Amino acid sequence: MIEEVQKIQDLMRAQGYVTDRAIATTLFLAMQLKRPIMIEGQSGVGKTEVAKVLSAALGAELIRLQCYEGLDVSTALYEWNYPRQMLRIKIEEQEKRTVEAKEAIIFSEEFLLKRPLLRAITNQEHSPVLLIDEVDRADEEFEAFLMEILSDFQVTIPELGTIKAEHRPYVVLTSNRTRELSDALKRRCLYLWIEYPYFEKELEIIRNKVPDVPEKLASQIAFFMQGIRRMRLAKPPGVAETLDWTMSLMLLHRDHLDRAVVRETLGALLKDHNDVSSFSDESLDALLIESANGLDQEKIKDRPEALADLIGRKALGC
């Protein structure tokens, strides 16, 4: 079993996703137990990417349902193609069929528009990966409906009857905790919380996603990110911002961090006006003090959390 967990971890790394044992173990258990995974964490930590990478690693279709306030069943499950049905009704007026036969044609699968949930249930070839993204943005009524679908992966369409999944999909739900999800939904899932990456993990992510980045710059960026997330920010930068910032610095042909280049590229890092305006030179200097010059890689490996916490406290004026 441990070998299977390692295999999943290797498959994900082969797809460019730097994972750890906890994520790989949760994925393994979810696949074996046929249970959905509920992934929570701050924005930008790679929750959605788990489903994308799992799909690529398994060679399975990725079906995504993006949740939002007001999402209803017809948008998520199915609806009838009314324009085509009306056209077919006109054609059927010339045909000598019984009313029941005409209804069977008009309300056949040919005129059914499958939305993400029904597409996942009716996949005939293999188990797809169903990503239900930002489920916390949907209404509680939709959440209740979703629990029914996840319970037995079948749906009843009045005109067609009950449709049950031949290949049960692998389900990944993500949440940014904009509202508390019901305990009933969580009990149906395996739970995974993804933190911001620690220094070594973020450094590996940078190297993996931006392979041409100079080693010194990659280390400085990873260390800088550890410190900035300890500041009192409305929207701390996630891994996506780390990679955007790294690529921005590469495009500017920078090989190290300094005050000027950080100021010039702050828009790739901070996405809130108050965070940008409150980011003082003192805070910036505190973040650069250990990373701009004389960055000792072995020293960072020995105590990355302690050093980053020191930078965070300096930036806060502690």
Look up the pTM and report it: 0.82
Phi, psi of 294 (to 5 degrees): 65, 30
Q: Which two tokens stand for residue 114?
A: 């499958």
Instruction: Please give the average per-residue pLDDT across 162-178, as a whole number.
Output: 92
Over the chain, what is the mean pLDDT? 87
pLDDT tens readout for residues 62-92: 999 999 999 988 899 999 989 998 998 888 8
Looking at residue 318, what is its pLDDT? 44
For residue 75, the one-letter residue type is: T
Which of 292, 297, 302, 315 lies closest to 227, judged by CA?
Answer: 315
DSSP secondary structure string, 236-301? ---HHHHHHHHHHHHHTT--S--HHHHHHTGGGT---HHHHHT--HHHHHHHHTTTSS---HHHHH
Q: Strand 190-194 and strand 154-157: pairing?
A: unpaired
Residue 261 pLDDT more than 60? yes
Residue 242 pLDDT more than 90? yes
- Cβ–Cβ under 8 Å, residues 38 and 5: no
Measure the CA–CA gap between 140 and 182, rounded to whole angstroms. Answer: 8
Measure the CA–CA gap between 216 and 232, rounded to whole angstroms. Answer: 27
Looking at residue 37, what is its pLDDT? 96
Looking at residue 160, what is its pLDDT? 87
pLDDT tens readout for residues 171-209: 999 999 889 999 999 999 999 999 999 999 999 999 999
What is the percent of the chain where pLDDT is above 70?
A: 91
